[in-house]
Amino acid sequence: MSFIGAPLAGGQPIPGVEKAPQAMRDGGIANIIHSLGWDFHDVGDLDVKGAIAAGSSEMVQGVKNCEQVGFANKLVHDAVKCEAAKGNFVLTVGGDHSIGSATITGMKAVYNDLSVIWVDAHGDCNTGNTSPSGNYHGMSASHAMGWFGLGLPGFEWLQQDVTISDSRLAFIALRDIDENEKKLLRSSGVAAFPMYDIDRWGIGSVIDMALHRVNPHGNRPIHLSFDIDSCDPTIAPGTGTCSRGGLNFRESHYICETLALTNNLCSMDIVEINPDLDTQVPGRMHGDSELITTPLQTVRLGQELVSSALGRSIL
């Protein structure tokens, strides 16, 4: 498998999220992956700083730092595409969720029948015309689905042929949605399962329904885009946009475990882990993996979720 560090923080205003790839390395991610029987190829951190330096920080079409984020995301897109073309499982660690448009389109360039499970408290479905903040990390899903159209400066690489259709993407764990996002989601063909559905049906039924929508015959490759703020702040405090009432520990793991069992999961991004906002692990529990060495609670959860997506199971 290929590990890509994507330390992009320019899609939102809170610094620290760019430190997550190194925090995952320092916390033992290579040892965890080796223990599951995978080879581990660390591509390294992409030169996001260099890409940003080459671009303008101007707001364009309602998108802050538009060209800078676009140039940085081109690096992510190209790296994901390159590693996927080798037949590797691709794990991309952000950075903020701006990279979602680049990881999806990078995989779509290799797997034309790609399907996507997007786990997030937020819809990330705004466009520049609807976003109340102008932060691109709240627009990356809509861009990956082609809702922006073409011509956004810095994003010339994001062409229609690598976007994904609405019917191939399902959201899970939504609970903090802007009013304009609601309208966009309701008028689209996207499958959206907010926390209400998890409360009503349980996580098992929700993931089954989501998979049936995006991969009804079980024969399409799956990309998992996992925003750590989908988890409740009691288990994932180290993120920039906390929202009450999120996934609990077992629900978040169940999603990853179930996708691993499909044998269709080919890539994953995990984003919005901010070590600067994180807290210490409250205490070791019996059964905790000795391979995970980070003292930070949210970084640890990220490590554990990746391990579940790569096949770690209880039995």
Catalytic residues: 97, 120, 122, 124, 137, 227, 229, 272
| CA–CA dist 219, 280 (Å, integer) | 41
Nearest by Cα to 150 from 166, 141, 161, 135: 161
- Asked whether 154 and 55 are in contact (CB, 8 A), the reply is yes
Integer Rg of the chain from CA: 18
The tokens describing 77, both together, are 């897109």
The tokens describing 32, both together, are 């965890």
DSSP character string of the chain: -EEEEE---TTSS-TTGGGHHHHHHHTTHHHHHHHTT---EEEEE--HHHHHHTS----BTTBTTHHHHHHHHHHHHHHHHHHHHTT--EEEEESSGGGHHHHHHHHHTT-TT-EEEEE-SS-----TTT-SS--GGGTHHHHHTTTT-S--TT-TT--GGG---GGGEEEEEE----HHHHHHHHTSS-EEEEHHHHHHH-HHHHHHHHHHHH-TTS-S-EEEEEEGGGB-TTT---SSS--SS-B-HHHHHHHHHHHHHTT-EEEEEEE---GGG--B-----TT--TT----BHHHHHHHHHHHHHTT----
